[in-house]
Each structure stands twice: as C-alpha cells, then as structure tokens.
C-alpha cells in the first residue's frame, strides 16, 4: 500500500492513466495486497494542490423528484403515478407511497394501500368505515387513463387493475417503431460509480475473478440502459508493497532489463512466485525490497520505469480475458488516490474521528469489537485509507450519487465499517432517510467445483480464467458441429459462423450460468449444465425468416392484437420488461433479469405452440409479437453481456 505517511504527503503519486479496458476481473484480494490498476489510453492528471477539502464535503440530497413525461417509465411507474393522484384525492391529509404490484391471480396489477391507510386514519373521525371502503374510493378516484380497462375491489381493499388490451398492444408496437430504449426505467439517480473486478497487478486472473467482473459489468449495463451515467471503476492494486519485491528482483536478475524489455520478465506469474520466494527466505533481499517501495513512492525515476513496465505486462495478460468477455472498465488504481489520503485523514481527524490505539491510528465504529485501522503502526496507509480517499474523490470530484462495490461476501464487514465511518464524517446520510448520495456493497459467494469445494484444477491451482473461457468455447463448438452434422445442416454454415456462434454460446453460457444464481449464494461450476441452455431467440429468428415477410415494413403498416389468451399473456409479460430492470437495479440482483429471460422463453414457447404464426389470419400481428419478443430478448442478452445467437 503506502509506506510512510510523510512520504505520501510530500510526493505526488504517479499519474495513473485512466483507460477504458475490457475486463473480467476478480473479487478483491485480501485487503492487504490489493491493487486496482491504472492504465493507458486517456490520461487524467490530478494534482493534490488543485483540490481542497473542508467545504467540499458532499451533502445529502433527496432522491430526484423530476416529473416524468406522460407515458415514461415502466408500467408499474405509470400506474403508480395514477395511484398517487387517487391517494391525494382520497386521503389528502396522509402522505403515503403508492403500493402497486403485479397481481398473481385476480388481475394484471394490484394497489395494496387500503389496509395501511386504514391503520393510519382509523379512530381519527374519518368517514371511511373499513379498508374496503378506502379501496373503493381509491378505485373511484383513479384518473381516467388509456392504460386501465377495468378495476375491482377485493377483500380488505385490494384494488385489482386490469390493463387495456389495446393499450398493451399499442405500447408493444410503439416500442417496435421507436426502439427498446423507450422502455428504459426511470431510476432516482443520474450518476453512479460501480467499482468491480480490481485484480492485483502481477498476479494471475483465475475463476475466482469471474463473479466480480460479470456481476459488475451486468449492473453497469443495466444502469446505463436506465440512462444513468455510470463510471466503471477498476480499482486495481498497483501500489502495494509487492512492487518493491518485484522491482528489486528484476534489477537483480536482469541489470539490462530496459534493453530486453518484456522478455526479462517472461511469464509474470512465474516471475512473481520466484520473487516472493526470495522475499520470504532472504532477509537482506527483503530489506532491499522494502526500501525499494520507499524509493518507488519517492518518485525515483528508475523505480517508476520498472513499475510501469510490470504494470503494462500485467495488463496485457488481463487483456486476453477482457477481449473474451467484452467487458469495459476505466482503471483508476490505488496509486491514483494516494495524494488524497493525507488530507482525507486530516479532515477525519479534525472531526475527532481518528484516535490512537496500540500505535496505530484508528476509527472506532459503534457495534464492532475491532476498530477500522486507517494508519498502521509503522505509519503506512492501508486498504481502508485508500477506500476512504477514493470515496471522498467519488463524492466530491466525480459527484456520484450512488457508489457500488462488487466484491465477495467475505469482505462485508470491512465495507460496513468503512461506510459507517463515512456516515460519521457526514459524507453520507443515514440509510433510513432514503437520501443520496449512498453506498452499497454487492457481495457474492464462491465458485465451487463438483466436489463442493472451491473450484480448482487437479493440481490444486486455481483455474486460469482464460483457459476456462477457451474450454467453454471449445465444448460449445464440438456440440454445435455434432448437432449440425447429425441433422445435415453443416453445409449451411461457414467457418466464420461456426466460430462466432461457438464464442457466443460458450462465453454466454459461462456468464448466464453465473448470473442466473442469486449472487449471495455459492454456485457449482459445470460445463455440461452451462451448455445445456438453448436460446428461444434463434427459433424466433428462424420463424421470421421462414415467413418471407419484411418485419421492418410490417411494424409500420401492421397492427398487433391480443385476442388469444396466450397472446395476451405474452404481451403483458413483454411490457413488464422495464419494471424487471428497475427491480434488478434497485436491489442490485442481476439474476432477476435472467429469471425474466427464462420465463419469457417459456411464455413464447407456449404462445407459439398454441397460436399458429405463419399462414394464419393473424400472421401479421403474431409476427410482430415474435419480433417484439426477439427485441426484448436481445436487450436482456445485452444487459447480461451475452451475444445473441440468430441461428442454431
């Protein structure tokens, strides 16, 4: 991390390049040696002297309360606006949030406010006799709208809402004409930081990195679809004590390392292990390495050059995986935030939050037996120091309203303590207040092998991620070739199509197998299970091709009708897409989108089984329903980072 605090305040840290990388990375490593990298393409120079503290500390603001355009947002959001108007007319003296949910049995949606309102106004002289009477009033006071076909009131005031078939059909057709982006949900923030992947420079990326990268990328894609400006941050560990070890070993083994370049290091993993062995077993080398960290942090040119070379080699290794998973990140490593640490700690100290304990500087957090250490006994900074500085920067410079950290569940306590410290400093509001800015830790479980233990190779080494992805592609290609050969369709496929489809299915299967699970649970890795999922999307594309109709022309001239029960079920589920994405964003659960995609596939299969498409009197309408389903599926795939397959 950092050596001495004095050195940190006296010397500006290296200017980390901020780059857009593609990346799948890892759950953060144990806090001591973690690094978050800085990269190349776009340089961001930030000097300590240009940013001051004090009055810039962010303040809490309520969630945005913009007035959405008519017809904007999800169906649930549009119905909620109608319910709000009704509630204001029904009980103007009570402030209450609308409670609108999908109805399981009696209608399409349901308003469940009546019982809660009754408990608030009962005994206050109200004219309402019971919850049912309140429900009747809510239903009566709903503004006239094309959305609602009919309402009814059941039991203790549940208001059942049936949507208009005509409105549902029009909403689907409008989406086909104007694009799926018109179905984006409206979220209460406009700018978010998602901190994910964050591998350690000079260390191998392996299967354990898979979940952080895939989950973080999917969250970013969902927020971006919802028109949130997402700062995809890769907080790579590029400034830890291991660099003194690596640099001194490089100097020792290859005095002319600058002349022979990357060849001096060769396999970075082998190089790292060799230097670590030397560090652990040679006291003189260990002391030299520790001094090397100070020289690096002090800005000595030779050490900076070696540091940059090691970081660049490590990034080129990461890039092998980034390209396969098609994940983009902006790297701002630990080194980027180091200039801010002294002034951040000075602010916290001025607020009386930092105390000395057993030679270290700590923040005591109520409810925790151990304190949050921000300066170690030797005067060095640590992971908490960097996280506090990064949070300060994200709140005050980047003006983020929601900062989301994606790491394994084992780091939950660190984040709870770290967030509490920020709240004590006045940087964050109390979570109960539902104000912004806010922070969230997105924890996830382990990847297990079929034996129920952490997934490893037979040699007990952690599986390399690039090898796992190549294996998934290879298996999907073998399966595809076998199936095409057996059904005689191999002649219809080019080598390029085989390659692209194998990648799409193989890499997509790896992502989907991870994302379909609730992220908080461990999941068992199985190639066979991953490659068993078949996409209904390819079948829909085949149906449209066989019709020999121009869907682009049909969506402008034709019309959708939902007269058959299975047509209506499919149509209703299609228009729920926006609220599903909203739920996934609100609760930070990508598996919600996977579940929706799976159910949509099932509903389409039922529709196609019971409703003839090509050659039927309803062909135009049903082809448009097929196309709408394909569009929504493709958007689901995009949110999950999966390339859709158009033929299988």
**pLDDT tens digits for 512-567?**
888 888 776 666 665 555 444 456 888 899 999 999 999 999 999 999 999 999 99
Dump pLDDT digits (tens) for 75-97.
Answer: 999 999 999 999 999 999 998 99
Element (H, E) at 303: helix 301-325
**Interval 90-123: pLDDT, tens:** 999 998 999 999 997 889 999 999 999 999 998 8
Roughly how many angstroms between the first and final C-alpha of the chain, as a whole number? Answer: 50
The pLDDT tens digits of the residues spanning 131-166 come to: 999 999 999 999 999 999 999 999 999 999 999 999
Given a cut of 80, is residue 54 above it in pLDDT? no
- Across the beta sheet with 191-195, the strand order is 20-22, 328-331, 229-234, 191-195, 402-408, 438-444
Dump pLDDT digits (tens) for 24-48: 333 333 333 343 333 322 222 232 3
Q: What is the pLDDT of residues 602-646, one digit of tens each?
A: 999 999 999 999 999 999 999 999 999 999 999 999 999 999 888
pLDDT at residue 12 above 50?
no
Which pLDDT value is given to residue 262?
A: 67
CB atoms under 10 Å from CB of 374, counted, come to 27
Distance CA 532, CA 518 (A): 19
What was the pLDDT predicted at 397?
97
Task: With a cut of 90, say whether residue 283 has pLDDT above it.
Answer: yes
Averaged pLDDT for residues 158-186: 96
Neighbours of 494 (CB within 10 A): 8
- CB within 8 Å of 532: residues ≥ 6 apart: none
**HSE toward the beta carbon, residue 588, CA cutoff 13 A:** 19
Residue 223 confidence class, pLDDT cut points 50, 70, 90:
very high
User: Across 206-210, 264-268, 329-333, 424-428, which has the greatest mean pLDDT?
Assistant: 424-428
Residues in a beta bridge with 101: 110
Preceding omega of 437 cis (within 30 degrees of 0): yes
Taking residue 288's Cβ as centre, other Cβ atoms within 10 Å add up to: 18
Query: Which burial class, exposed, middle or buried, applies to 359 when counting CB atoms under 10 A from its CB (0-12, 13-18, 19+)?
Result: exposed
- Residue by residue, DSSP assigns 519-571 as TTS-EE--HHHHTT---HHHHHHHHHHHHT--HHHHHHH------SHHHHHHH
Q: pLDDT class for 263, splitting at 50, 70, 90?
A: low
pLDDT for residue 352: 97
What integer is the mean pLDDT of 181-195?
A: 96
Rounded-to-5 percentages of helix, strand, coil across the chain: 55, 15, 35
Q: Which of 381, 377, 378, 404 minimizes the C-alpha distance to 391? A: 404
Question: Could you report the per-residue pLDDT of 62-79, keeping only the tens digit for each?
Answer: 444 445 665 778 999 999
pLDDT digits (tens, 9 = 90+) for 580-606: 999 999 999 999 999 999 999 999 999
Question: Does residue 90 have a cis peptide bond before it, meaning omega lies within 30 degrees of 0?
Answer: no
Q: Are 645 and 194 within 8 A, CB to CB?
A: no
Which stretch of DSSP H or E encloses residue 220? Answer: helix 210-225
Question: 63: number of CA atoms within 13 Å, CB side?
Answer: 12
Q: Provide the token pair at 378.
A: 């030797």
pLDDT of res. 469: 83
Which tokens hold the place of 498? 């085989």
Percentage of the chain modeled with pLDDT above 70:
82
Angle at 154 between CA 150 and CA 157, to 5 degrees: 100
Interatomic CA distance for residues 387 and 235, integer angstroms: 10
Handedness of CA 408, 522, 212, 306 (dihedral sign): positive
Name 98's Cβ contacts closer than 8 Å, sequence gap at least 6. Answer: 80, 83, 84, 87, 111, 113
pLDDT tens column, 289-334: 999 988 887 889 999 999 998 998 888 888 888 888 999 999 999 9
Residue listed under structure tokens 């590029």:
238
* Stretch 486-509: mean pLDDT: 89
Torsion of CA 353, 414, 217, 175, to 10 degrees: -70
- Which residue carries 């949030």 as its tokens? 97
For residue 562, give every residue at least 6 positions away whose Cβ sits within 8 Å of its Cβ, in sequence order, or none: 165, 168, 169, 568, 571
- Weakest-pLDDT range from 414-418, 465-469, 567-571: 465-469
Over residues 414-445, the pLDDT tens digits come to: 999 999 999 999 999 988 888 999 999 999 88
CA distance 159 to 572: 18
SS3 for 126? coil
Query: Residue 391 corresponds to which tokens in the numbers above?
Result: 């949070």
pLDDT recorded at residue 405: 97
Q: Is a pLDDT exceeding 50 seen at residue 373?
A: yes
Nearest to 391 by CA among 416, 422, 417: 422
3-state secondary structure of 160: strand
Residue 301's Cβ-count burial label (10 Å; 0-12, 13-18, 19+) is exposed
Q: Which residue has the higher pLDDT, 16 or 131?
A: 131
Q: Is 121 helix (H, G, I), strand (E, B) or coil?
A: helix
Q: Which two tokens stand for residue 111?
A: 């308003």
Per-residue burial over 111-133, b if 16 or more Cβ lie within 10 Å, else e, is bbbbbebbeeeeeeebebeebbb
Query: What integer best gives the mean pLDDT of the chain?
Result: 84
Greater confidence (56 vs 468) lies with 468
The DSSP element (H or E) to which 583 belongs, if any, is helix 577-587
Which among 476, 223, 216 is positioned nearest to 327, based on CA atoms?
216
For residues 348 and 361, the answer to whether their CB atoms sit within 8 Å is: no
> pTM here?
0.84
Quick one: pLDDT at residue 2? 28
Q: What percent of the chain has pLDDT over 90?
A: 59
Tokens of 361: 């500087």
Instruction: Go through the chain and tell me how many residues it has.
Output: 648
Q: What is the Cα–Cα distance from 589 to 517, expressed in whole angstroms?
A: 9
Beta bridge partners of 402: 192, 438
Confidence of residue 51 (pLDDT cuts 50, 70, 90): very low
Query: Which sign does the torsion angle of CA 42, 48, 50, 56 carry?
Result: positive
């Amino acid at each position: 991390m950092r050596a001495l605090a004095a050195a940190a305040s006296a010397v500006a840290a290296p200017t980390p390049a901020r780059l857009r990388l593609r990346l799948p990375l890892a759950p953060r490593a144990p806090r001591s040696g973690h690094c978050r990298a800085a990269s190349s393409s776009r340089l961001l120079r930030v000097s300590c002297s240009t940013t001051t503290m004090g009055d810039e500390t962010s303040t809490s603001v309520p969630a945005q309360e913009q007035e959405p355009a008519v017809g904007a947002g999800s169906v649930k959001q549009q119905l909620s606006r109608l319910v709000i108007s009704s509630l204001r007319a029904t009980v103007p003296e009570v402030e209450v949030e609308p409670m609108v949910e999908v109805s399981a049995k009696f209608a399409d949606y349901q308003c469940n406010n009546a019982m809660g309102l009754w408990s608030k106004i009962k005994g206050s002289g109200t004219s309402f006799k019971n919850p049912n009477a309140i429900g009747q009033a809510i239903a009566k006071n709903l503004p006239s709208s094309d959305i609602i076909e009919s309402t009814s009131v059941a039991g203790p005031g549940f208001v059942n809402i049936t949507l208009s078939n005509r409105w549902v059909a029009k909403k689907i057709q409008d989406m086909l004409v104007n694009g799926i982006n018109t179905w984006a949900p409206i979220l209460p923030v406009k700018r978010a930081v998602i901190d994910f992947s964050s591998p350690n420079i000079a260390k191998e990326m392996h299967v354990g990195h898979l979940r952080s990268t895939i989950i973080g990328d999917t969250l970013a894609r969902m927020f971006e679809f919802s028109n949130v400006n997402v700062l995809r941050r890769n907080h790579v560990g590029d400034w830890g004590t291991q660099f003194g070890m690596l640099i001194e070993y490089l100097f020792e083994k290859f005095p002319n390392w600058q002349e022979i370049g990357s060849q001096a290091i060769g396999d970075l993993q082998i190089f790292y292990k060799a230097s670590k062995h030397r560090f652990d077993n040679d006291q003189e080398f260990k002391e030299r390495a520790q001094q090397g960290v100070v020289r690096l942090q002090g800005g000595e040119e030779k050490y900076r050059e070696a540091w940059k070379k090691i970081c660049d080699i490590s990034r080129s290794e990461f890039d092998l995986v980034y390209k396969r998973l098609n994940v983009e990140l902006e790297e701002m490593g630990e080194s980027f935030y180091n200039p801010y640490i002294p002034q951040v700690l000075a602010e916290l100290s001025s607020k009386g939050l930092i105390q000395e304990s057993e030679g270290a500087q700590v923040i005591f957090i109520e409810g925790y037996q151990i304190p949050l250490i921000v300066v170690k006994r030797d005067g060095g900074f640590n992971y908490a120091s960097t996280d506090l500085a990064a949070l300060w920067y994200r709140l005050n410079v980047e003006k983020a309203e929601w900062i989301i950290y994606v790491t394994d569940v084992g780091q939950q306590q660190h984040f709870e303590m770290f967030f509490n410290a920020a709240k004590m400093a006045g940087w964050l509001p109390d979570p109960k207040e539902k104000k912004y800015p806010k922070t969230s830790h997105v924890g996830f479980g382990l990847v297990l092998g079929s034996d129920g233990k952490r997934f490893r190779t037979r040699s007990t080494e952690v599986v390399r991620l690039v090898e796992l992805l190549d294996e998934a592609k290879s298996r999907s290609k073998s399966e595809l070739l076998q199936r095409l050969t057996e059904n005689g369709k191999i002649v219809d496929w080019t080598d390029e199509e085989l390659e692209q489809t194998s990648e799409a299915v193989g890499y997509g299967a790896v992502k989907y197998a991870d994302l379909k699970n609730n992220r908080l649970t461990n999941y068992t890795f199985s190639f066979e299970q991953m490659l068993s999922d078949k996409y209904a999307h390819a079948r829909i594309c085949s149906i449209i091709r066989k019709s020999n109709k121009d869907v682009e022309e049909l969506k402008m001239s034709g019309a959708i009708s939902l007269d058959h029960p299975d047509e209506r079920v499919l149509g209703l589920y299609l228009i729920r897409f926006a609220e599903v994405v909203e739920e996934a964003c609100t609760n930070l659960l990508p598996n919600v989108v996977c579940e929706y995609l799976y159910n949509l596939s099932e509903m389409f299969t039922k529709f196609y089984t019971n409703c003839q498409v090509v050659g039927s009197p309803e062909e135009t309408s049903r082809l448009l329903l097929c196309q709408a389903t394909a569009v929504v599926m493709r958007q689901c795939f995009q949110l999950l980072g999966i390339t859709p397959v158009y033929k299988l």
